[in-house]
Amino acid sequence: MNLYEKILNDQEYLTLTEKIGKMKFITDGKWDWEHGLGHYKRVSKYVKKILEQLNATKREIDLGMVAALLHDIGLSESGTNKTDHALKSSMMFKRFLNDTDITKDEMGILESAIKDHSKGNEINSNICLALVLADKLDVTYHRTINSSIQDEMNKEIQKIKNVDIIINNQELIVKYTVDGDLNLNILRGWEKTITIPKKIASHLGKNYILMVNGEIKN
């Protein structure tokens, strides 16, 4: 059993994520997106795909998927304001890795990645890079369909049915599959969904391309 599977079988972890999944997180009165286990698993999927395209080892992929499972657990202690959750998550995650073969250096990589996942200001490993980007790729209908605040942004996000990412020698390509027409001006209201992929592409020395239903939008 790898580390990712171990955590998914940890009852304390599952209880904590269930608690978070029932909470509503309102930032600046704008939204309360889903932050439960579904989000963590989707981010894990994106992390895996990103790291595979960066030629990561199986161990790095496992660690990256672990970071995805644990990156938001600080929300359990954040009340309804999530602004400090990344720091809290980076202080809490280690308890879920007791009695494992994880090394001190690997623990440090995970701590740094989880702490930086919201903004990507201190990317110092491929695991951190993958987590920062993957978190912002989870912008499909799953996040807002059950939101108690159905503003224009949440409704726009519900048009997005799938997000894919391709990283090749020259480009970082984010591909949205949507129902109907996507108003990118509204989506840009959540600035990070556009700026973070650009930042990661620049970090990798690649061009950033956004595609919606097969059409280049930038």
Local confidence band at 184 (pLDDT 50, 70, 90 cut-offs): very high
Mean pLDDT along residues 67-82? 83
Q: Percentage of the chain with pLDDT > 90?
A: 72
- Summarised one tens digit per residue, pLDDT across range 148-162 is 888 899 999 999 999
Q: Which of 42, 70, 60 is nearest to 163 (CA)?
A: 42
Domains by residue range for the chain, with CATH: 3-216 (1.10.3210)
Q: Which of 104, 122, 97 is nearest to 112 (CA)?
A: 122
- Mean of the per-residue pLDDT values for the chain? 92
The predicted pLDDT at position 201 comes to 97
* pTM, 2 dp: 0.94
